[in-house]
């Protein structure tokens, strides 16, 4: 698949988008730049709008290297966060099997008991770590009519006391 590199230059009314080998178009914002470029390339070449790649390269007054470094660090931090969560899920299982309670595990890991519960639920939902996927949402049983009525009366009483 062909990828078009686009140099984006800021000007008073938005951005000039210089499309490699084709020409120039404009966009009011960088958020709309890809859509504008896709439309331009499709009209110029006759290609379907999703049949080619677009790489927007904004000119940022010499800050491009700092922007790339910040993005790279953010990506690395996300990878480390996923690895830490996986390690925590695995150790929670082992600590539970060794006989520690949820509160004891929380103290050992220096996290809240609620976080231990989340980590434990992520493991028990599938029988193994979720490997970066969200834990399954637990179903809460519906309240009986009597329980709903009692809860509504209690909430009403709290509001009237305030």
pLDDT tens digits for range 73-116: 999 999 999 999 999 999 999 999 999 999 999 999 999 999 99
Q: Would you place residue 129 in the very low, low, confident or very high pLDDT band (cuts 50, 70, 90)?
A: very low
Task: Examine the pLDDT at 137 and tell me if it is beyond 50.
Answer: no
Q: What sign does the dihedral 64-70-73-75 (CA atoms) show?
A: negative
What pLDDT does 43 receive? Answer: 95
Cα→Cα distances 109→82, 84, 97, 104, 116, Å: 16, 12, 15, 9, 9
pTM over the 0.85 mark: no
> 129-152: buried (b, 16+ CB within 10 Å) or exposed (e) per residue?
bbeeeebeeeeeeeeeeeeeeeee
Residue 127 in this model has a pLDDT that exceeds 70: no
Can you tell me the distance from the alpha carbon of 132 to that of 120, in angstroms, rounded to the nearest whole number?
14
């Amino acid at each position: 698949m062909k990828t078009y590199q686009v140099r984006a230059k800021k000007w008073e009314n938005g951005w000039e988008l210089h499309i490699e080998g084709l020409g120039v178009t404009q966009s009011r914002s960088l958020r709309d730049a890809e859509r504008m470029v896709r439309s331009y390339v499709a009209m110029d070449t006759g290609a379907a709008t999703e049949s080619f790649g677009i790489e927007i390269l904004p000119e940022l007054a010499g800050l491009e290297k700092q922007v790339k470094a910040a993005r790279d660090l953010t990506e690395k931090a996300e990878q480390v966060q996923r690895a830490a969560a996986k390690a925590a899920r695995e150790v929670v299982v082992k600590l539970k099997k060794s006989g520690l309670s949820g509160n004891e595990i929380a103290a050992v890991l220096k996290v809240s008991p609620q976080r231990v519960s989340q980590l434990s639920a992520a493991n028990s939902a599938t029988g193994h770590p979720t490997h970066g996927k969200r834990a399954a949402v637990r179903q809460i049983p519906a309240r009986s009519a009597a329980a709903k009525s009692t809860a509504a009366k209690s909430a009403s009483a709290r509001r009237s006391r305030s």
